[in-house]
Amino acid sequence: MALNKVYKLNTGASIPAIGLGTWQAPGEEVYKAVKTAIAAGYRHIDTAFGYGNEAEVGKAIRDALAENNLERKDVFVTTKLWPTFFRPEKVAEGFQISFDRLDIEYIDLFLLHWPCALNPEQGVAIPRKPDGTRDIDTTVTPSITWAAAEKLLDTGKVKAVGVSNYSIPILEDLLKTAKVVPAVNQIELHPYNPQQKLLDYCASKGIHCTAYSPLGSTNSTLLSDETINKIATAHNKSPAQVILSWGWARSSILPKSVNPERVKANTDLVELSAQEIEQINELHKTHGKRFIKPDWGVRVFDEDFE
Ligand code: NDP
């Protein structure tokens, strides 16, 4: 069963191959989705300070554990530090906010959400300068923030630390001074943006990759892809199930849904043939697309579609 599959992290812990994504899922909606997911067998939930839903996600996890006779250790929970907390002296404060909001004893994985620091002086959302560009603090490099994140491990409140949206050059730089190798790099991965080079690089350093937007995010054009639809018909599955079957075989994946049927369907995956996998592997050559590319005003991604 797809929900039993795990990947090993460099900490020795296991990360379930399928996790529920919760971005753009507020309040009652996310509360119900997380409860549905855990009742359906999900053992991995992804949230972030930036999603504004950690309190509801945490409550749903606590309630679901009680209702399904599960223990805290049975569910793997990831949250992320927002870049307005990236100055080293703000890292512990940002972590503590997420920790308190989730209220689930400990965090399994804490990620630096983006490889750039936002100036915290204008609030915690997405500060902008008067000209509309984002207010980046370029004096705070990813390595500086990482050194502060490593110290969180000493608190016992978090089991593993990692990064998100880090490219090869940024990781190369970070690893020069890192005492702890990031456990995870959470990145956009799907057939239109497979990032094989980054995946291989991370594997060579012992960094596990988790796929965000594994379906191509909101209003995905990937779901109507002709090749995907042909393969789906052949297996009597939906296009989403084929895309996730491809993704789940190469990394952990975080499909987001607030629809109970889709939450469940997204775990009903199939084994694709080598030929089908090869067909899907080819898609980025003609349909390459990165769906999530906020305008940070600094270079974040090195290449678009490797
Ligand atoms: P996904 O690729 O998971 O796609 C979500 C969209 O697909 C929603 O509109 C959802 O609608 C729809 N959907 C879900 N299942 C199906 C299905 N079976 N058939 C058809 N449509 C479906 O996008 P996300 O961008 O949300 O990425 C997943 C998660 O990854 C996020 O929620 C978040 O946790 C994480 N993430 C992390 C980022 C980072 O910077 N680290 C950036 C982006 C995402 P509905 O809910 O109505 O089912």
Question: Tell me: the pLDDT tens digits for 100-138?
Answer: 999 999 999 999 999 999 988 766 666 667 777 778 899
Q: Would the CB of 258 count as within 6 Å of ligand 1?
A: yes
Question: What pLDDT band is residue 306 in, cutting at 50, 70 and 90?
Answer: very low
CA dihedral sign, ordered 198, 199, 204, 210? positive
Ligand 1 neighbour 256 (Cβ under 6 A): yes
pLDDT beyond 60 at 305: no
Cα gap 159→157, rounded to integer Å: 7
State which ligand 1 atom lies nearest to the alpha carbon of 257: 46
Q: Whose CA is nearest to atom 42 of ligand 1?
A: 212
Confidence of residue 8 (pLDDT cuts 50, 70, 90): very high
Instruction: Calculate how far, in angstroms, residue 165's C-alpha sits from the geometric centre of ligand 1.
Output: 16
Prediction pTM value: 0.97
pLDDT at 140 over 80: yes
224 Cβ closer than 6 Å to some ligand 1 atom:
no
Is 42 among the catalytic positions?
A: no
Residue with tokens 């057939």: 191
Catalytic residue among 51, 166, 192, 212: 51
- The answer to whether 58 touches 99, Cβ cutoff 8 Å, is no
Q: Rounded to whole angstroms, how far apart are CA atoms 81 and 60?
A: 21
